[in-house]
Amino acid sequence: MKEKELRECATCALCGEKIGKSGMPMFWRVRIERHGIDLSAVQRQTGLAMMLGGHAGIAAAMGPDEEMTKPLMEPVTITVCEPCGTKSTMVAALAEGGT
């Protein structure tokens, strides 16, 4: 990580403190994505597997290899300082703190 990028992400998204303030010069960069299952795509793939005698592997090889999920939000990348990274935090709460 170059200096400019480090300066841009030098604040913890959870506690708001600068990384390293705790005396530990380590931090986490966390990318959060939220997806929903595309039931139509799953049903199509399952139907193909059933037509091929229940062989999911063959259906995967012969199918259109379409996306089985749809993104529900833009990906969020956040910085988490080492002390906050050792606490229990809900992923949804992490996404709220993202930039």
| Both tokens assigned to 31 | 């990318």
Q: Are 77 and 98 in contact, with CB atoms under 8 Å apart?
A: yes
pTM of the prediction?
0.71
- Please check the confidence at residue 18 and state whether its pLDDT lies above 80: yes
Give whole-number Cα distances, 44 to 10, 24, 50, 67, 86, in Å. Answer: 46, 50, 10, 11, 42
Which of these ranges, 4-18, 26-40, 43-57, 76-90, has the smallest mean pLDDT?
A: 43-57
Tens-place pLDDT, residues 24-48: 899 999 999 999 999 999 999 888 8
